[in-house]
Structure 1
């Protein structure tokens, strides 16, 4: 199913574009804290560094500790693309690299050590003077998350810093839609296409789709996006105002512009389309959601693993549902060693090819 060249030795098969490195501070809190911080609970709303530090200090007094989460706050490299790329290297043994920039601070060093510990190639990650982006992810009793990112003055890579050398020999580029990174996204896609690299894009959030739909439609209509992932909210936002805006209609719309289109439906699984083929795959019943952070990102890891291994559309979705199900079993967007083991078992039960890394 997947096409393209075999990457040369030492070249990552999959590249992630995350212009700004990001550190996530993930904590389980009781709802009373959520009512005391600005913005609606559930969404993602940017804050200044003072506000972020204030929330972190508040968090310490509103922690929900549980016997299976010994450490109440988990700090790790974050960002949707970093989650997907780290999942591909750590859980699936696929060679991956990340393109972006990190600051010369403690958070930057943490991002680098977390990603390199997980086997991600950092030769395309540049260090710059200035702060590294951070995000507080507050998770309530039922696993819903509220995010407060602080990105305003964070260092990031610029469009004119990308080179063809960065992309040469890789097979896929993974990116996330975002209006603030539109220039660097467009530059990366342009170079990727010159180098014959497939492009996978995630729609980021329903707020992003709602507020910046026009540039998103231009990206999709360019024909340069080969694979698009959307969740249910993003999918319905994409067709807002049409008489039929259900996930199936959104899947058809995405599939008109992309070779592969996937709409994830949370507990209801996912639907996907490639050419004329449409599949619907249920979620894994045994996955108990502690924290939904990273479910879509890790679903993408499994799906992309399936594509580079030449699995069928149905199998790609099934592996995706196993990896998406593995990350929600603990806090944050990084899968724990126990949950990778859980995932391999699920993949085995379903008769799918087990990643070499585990054999």
Structure 2
């Protein structure tokens, strides 16, 4: 299965302030705020939802095609992704903007001051998928992840126009979308991915029932955090898969992206939805035990061992033959 992953590509700049923000605020001077914080630590991490998922797919043996907009500062990041099996040929490089950045300062109480610079992501809607979708090597599935909202809507419509299956993963961009835009994004999707809160937002935005949404999509995959994942289809009993037990969570960032990578890898290998959900949970667990969205290693022996411990040896024997040559 050829998978194209569209969406955000960014770097995260994470800083830690050893004091408390509250101690630096003078109540009667807040209208003239001017502060500078000397930080003890800076971590620069590779991120962006589409890049995270593509990294996971590539690490698991697929050759996903990444589609997004970046600046000319993307060169080092691009080499990293290519080393992990990602095809970056469809990534647009802006002539004027830099790659998106998330900048976050955290104090000792866990309070945060953050800023997100969209940068080149603002140009995502300018480059459509038409050529990719009509060519001989067109993808079997397009995953539409958080991006410039106009780009998300354009990509889903192009998939419909060209008869290419797509998966909708609106995630944090649900806050920016109105009901009609959400409908345009999810209607006709082969897969709809959300977490529990995003699921409630979809229903609220659309003003309809879960069954109404299931009439629009092939299947709705809802990640449930420590409770695992649930897959719903219209007229069928829900499929619920528990999470991997005993995971020592160090960093939740990117765990949902890792789940999607594991899930879609299993489907691309022709495995069942239950096995796909289980593999998604295993890969998400590996991401949780690492600091950074792309810090985990897809060691197949280790993943199979964790799979067997969580879901049984017989289940592990089903997934083990799927580890193979890059595809």
Residues 112-123 of structure 1: pairs in structure 2 closer than 5 A: 112-123=78-89
1:274 alignment partner in structure 2 = 233
In structure 2, which of residues 96, 119, 125 is the aligned counterpart of residue 159 of structure 1? 125
Matches within 5 A, 1:234-313: 234-240=198-204, 250=210, 252-275=211-234, 276-313=236-273
**Partner-residue secondary structure (3-state), 1:115:** helix
Rg comparison, structure with higher value: 2
Asked if the contact 2:9/2:49 (under 8 Å) is kept, the reply is: no
Residues 237 and 281 (structure 1 numbering): CA distance in 2 closer, same or farther, change over 3 Å?
same
Instruction: State the 1:15 CA deviation.
Output: 0.6
Contact 2:230 2:241 survives alignment (8 Å)? yes
In the alignment, which residue of structure 2 is the partner of 1:95? Answer: 63
Q: How well do the aligned residues superpose, as a CA RMSD in angstroms?
A: 3.6
Which whole-Å CA distance do the structure 2 matches of 1:166 and 1:214 have between them?
Answer: 29
Per-residue deviation, 1:295: 0.9
1:318 to 278, 282, 292: 278
CA contact (8 A) 1:326 1:339 kept: no
Shift >6 Å, 4+ stretches? 34-38, 138-142, 144-147
Q: Secondary structure at the match of 2:171?
A: coil
Cα distance in 1 for partners of 2:288, 2:89 equals 30
Q: Does the CA contact (< 8 Å) of 1:15 and 1:98 recur in 2?
A: yes
Equivalenced residues, count: 306
Over 3 Å counting, the alpha-carbon distance change for 1:183 and 1:282 in structure 2 is: same
Shift of residue 337, structure 1, vs aligned partner:
2.5
Distance 1:255 1:73, change over 3 A: same
Aligned to 1:191: 158
Tell me if structure 1 keeps the 8 A contact 2:152–2:185: no
Compute the TM-score of the two structures, normalised by the length of structure 2: 0.79
Q: Which runs of 5+ in 2 are unaligned?
A: 26-33
Counterpart contact for 2:62–2:85, Cα < 8 Å: no
In the other structure, the counterpart of 2:143 is: 174
- The offset of 1:83, in angstroms, is 0.6
- Structure 1 residues 121 and 215, CA, compared in 2 at 3 Å: closer, same or farther? same
- Residue 211 (structure 1) shift: 4.8
Aligned to 1:68: none
Q: Distance in 1 between matches of 2:223 and 2:239?
A: 12
State the SS of the aligned residue for 1:154: helix
Distance, in Å, in 2 between the alignment partners of 1:89 and 1:36 is 46
Gaps in structure 1 of 5+ consecutive residues: 1-5, 7-12, 39-50, 64-71
CA spacing shift, 1:309–1:283, aligned 2, 3 Å = same
TM-score, length basis structure 1: 0.73
Q: 1:184 Cα shift? A: 1.9
